Structures are given as structure tokens and as C-alpha cells.
Amino acid sequence: MSHLTAKSRPMSTTSKTLTFDTSTSRANPTPSPMKRLTVPRIRQQKGGEPLVMLTAYTVRMAQLLDPHCDMLLVGDSLGQVIYGLPHTVAVTMEMMAAHGAAVVRGSYHAAVIIDMPFGSYESSPELAFKNAAHLLKETGAAAVKMEGGKVLAPTIEFLTKRGIPVMAHVGLTPQAINILGGYGVRGKSEEEAASIVEDAAAVADAGAFAMVIEGVLEPIAIEITAKVACPTIGIGASALCDGQVLVTEDMLGLFERTPKFVKKFGNMAVGVEAAVKQYADEVRRRSFPGLEQIYRSTAE
Ligand code: KIV
């Protein structure tokens, strides 16, 4: 992105060409109709066309994903993806607020859902409400997501009844890494499988408008999807969930490691490496900047 002048250049989407104003990072003109998908509409999609969700943490990525997604998730996975943290436990409210606001600024169509970071919601419904309200006010996101099952049901009910839509997250809950000891698939024993199904039923009954089901044996995801009234969004779960989510950088192939549940739909690491290598070569050969990139007269 050029920082020298505020020019417009085409931003292509599958359906139309928008112009992208580099001085404001807004698409210009604003795509019309600028109507975001609402939480009630997402809820209504239960059992219909699968819901498409991807993570987004930055304005440009949000712009690229927005035309194709129903929901953009500002996941606390940004701890690892953006900040190089070992897990999500250290992610702060400030990080979530800054990236959430960027994603809302870069999107027009998708509903933006923002993760509540570890420590911001577990101890009481009142604390959860205060922090969730802060995130919605700071970012303009439509809803929050929080990890947990039965124990969180009173909090989900408290927030929902006070105007804050909640997406739940059951199965593998990465914020509990220090209890779990790893990110292995959940529900291998009958007891654990039954407990995950109970968690899902409890958060759905409490008013969650949707739930992520992460890292469980497939029959568990299928059973939950059949049982609960709200849409289920799978990651490492089942194609029969009501929708799917992936970490965008995983599916774009930015990382070497590909967990079993990720499909690489692109190979961004290879593209970035090739471009950077060519740039470095051209700088070292003094062939960049070339004539086209240089201001040679006062008229330019
Ligand atoms: O933080 C995150 O990105 C998530 C998704 C993987 C569901 O919670």
C-alpha cells in the first residue's frame, strides 16, 4: 500500500470492482447496499446454507474476506498469529479492541464477532457484561464469543438478556490450555463426549445465538448440531455442522505446520517469500527503484 499519495485503485471482488482509497483504507464508494448480516439472520440460517466464517485481525484482510464471508471472527488466536505468543492466555482486552475496530472498519457485509480474552469474563456475569459492552462500544462488533460450557450458561443468559449477543465455544477450548495440557481432540471417552454434548445444550438453552464446536470426534458434532436450536460452526468437527470456521492464515498456507483439520486453500508463504527474495535481489542489484518508481521532474 502506497503511503505517498491518496490515490484510488481498483479492488476487485468476485462480483464487482470497488475502488480502494489508500488514504482512508475505506472502499470508495461504499459498497451498496451497506447492510451487515445481523445476529437474528445468522440464527435463522440454522439448517440452511452453511455459514462461512473466517478469522480476521487487520483492516486489509477484512476487506479481502468480507465479500465472501457471513461472519468475520476477531479470534484471540491473534495472540499466536499476530503477536507470536505461545497460546491465547496472555491476550489482552486492548489487543482485542484494537484489532476488532480495524476489522469493523474494513468490512461492510459480514457480522463481526469478537473473542472475549481469557480472564475477562469467567469470574462473574457482571464482569463479563462490563468487558463485553466495552468491546462492542470500542469496536462496533455485533457480538462476542466466549469459551466454555455449563459453567458459563448463567453468564450467557445474563448478557443475552441485556442486549449482548453471545457466540459460545465448546469442545476443545484453547484458553484452558493450562488445564488441558495440549490441543488434542476432545470427547474420546464416553464420559467426556456426554459432557461436551451437555455443555452445548446448556449454552444453547442459555441463549447463545450460535456456537463454535472445536476439535471433537465427528459424532459429537453431529449429535450437537441435531440437538441445539442455534447454528453450530465447526472447526475440526464435521461438514454437517451449520457452518465452518478456520484461522485465515492457516487456510492461506502462511504457516509450515498444517494441523489435520486445516486444508490449505492457498500457499501464501511461498508467494511472500518469492516476492521478498525478488525485492532483495533488485535492491542489491540497484535495479529497484526503476524509472517508473522515481520522481524525475517537478511536474510529477
Ligand atoms: O480464536 C480463534 O481464532 C477461534 C477460532 C479458531 C474458532 O476461536
Domain count, the chain: 2
* Residue minimizing CA distance to atom 5 of ligand 1: 75
DSSP string, the chain: --SS---EEEEE-SS-EEEEETTTTEEESPPSS--PPPHHHHHHTTTSSPEEEEE--SHHHHHHHGGG-SEEEE-TTHHHHTT--SSGGG--HHHHHHHHHHHHHT-SSSEEEEEPPTTSSSS-HHHHHHHHHHHHHHH--SEEEEEBSGGGHHHHHHHHHTT--EEEEEES-GGGHHHH-S-PPB--SHHHHHHHHHHHHHHHHTT-SEEEEESB-HHHHHHHHHH-SS-EEEESS-TTSSEEEE-HHHHTT-SS---TT---S--HHHHHHHHHHHHHHHHHTT-SS-GGGS--STT-
Q: Is residue 17 part of a domain?
A: no
Whether ligand 1 lies within 6 angstroms of the CB of 245 is answered as yes
On whether both 74 and 184 belong to a single domain, the answer is: yes
Task: Scan for cell 455442522, then name that residue.
Answer: 241
- Is 214 annotated in the active site? yes
Structural domain that includes position 82: 39-263
The number of the ligand 1 atom at minimal distance from the alpha carbon of 233 is 7
Indicate whether residue 212 lines ligand 1 (CB < 6 A).
Answer: yes
| CA 60/CA 230 separation, integer angstroms | 31
Residue 234 is predicted with a pLDDT of 98
Per-residue pLDDT of the chain (300 residues; tens, 9 = 90+): 333 333 333 333 444 444 555 555 555 545 555 689 999 999 999 999 999 999 999 999 999 999 999 999 999 999 999 999 999 999 999 999 999 999 999 999 999 999 999 999 999 999 999 999 999 999 999 999 999 999 999 999 999 999 999 999 999 999 999 999 999 999 999 999 999 999 999 999 999 999 999 999 999 999 999 999 999 999 999 999 999 999 999 999 999 889 999 999 999 999 999 999 999 999 999 999 999 999 988 887
Residue 236 phi, psi dihedral angles, 5° rounding? 65, 40
Instruction: Say if 16 falls within a structural domain.
Output: no
Asked if residue 5 belongs to a domain, the reply is no
- Does residue 211 line the site of ligand 1, with CB under 6 A? no
Same domain, 180 and 273: no
What is the structure's pLDDT at 16?
A: 45
State the pLDDT at residue 12.
39
Q: 46 with 144, same domain? A: yes
89 and 174 belong to one structural domain = yes
Predicted pLDDT of residue 34: 67
Distance 167 CA to ligand 1 centre (A): 11
258 and 274, same domain (yes or no): no
Q: Is residue 18 part of a domain?
A: no
pLDDT of residue 23: 54
- The verdict on residue 29 lying in a domain is no
Query: Is residue 137 situated within a structural domain?
Result: yes
Same domain flag for 170 and 216:
yes
Residues with Cβ < 8 Å from 173, sequence gap 6 or more? 147, 148, 180, 214
CB-based contact 128:148 (threshold 8 Å): no
> 243: which 3 cell numbers?
457452518
| Residue nearest atom 2 of ligand 1, based on CA coordinates | 75
Residue 90 and residue 177 in one domain: yes
- Partners of residue 286 on adjacent β-strands: none
Residue 35's pLDDT is 84
Residue 32 lies in a domain: no
Do 128 and 179 belong together in one domain?
yes
Looking at the structure, tell me whether residues 288 and 229 fall in a common domain. Answer: no
Together in a domain, 125 and 151 = yes
| Ligand 1 atom at shortest distance from the alpha carbon of 115 | 1
Nearest CA to ligand 1 atom 1: 75
Q: Are residues 166 and 287 in the same domain?
A: no
Residue 3: per-residue pLDDT? 36
**Pocket probe mutation, ligand 1, options 89, 214, 262, max atoms within 8 Å of Cβ:** 214
Distance 74 CA to ligand 1 centre (A): 8
The CATH number of the domain holding residue 88 is: 3.20.20.60
Q: Which residues are registered as beta bridge partners of 18?
A: 11
**Confidence at residue 15, expressed as pLDDT on a 0 to 100 scale:** 41
Whether residue 27 lies inside any domain: the answer is no
pLDDT tens digits along 175-220: 999 999 999 999 999 999 999 999 999 999 999 999 999 999 999 9
33 C-alpha to ligand 1 centroid (Å)? 29
245/284 same-domain check: no
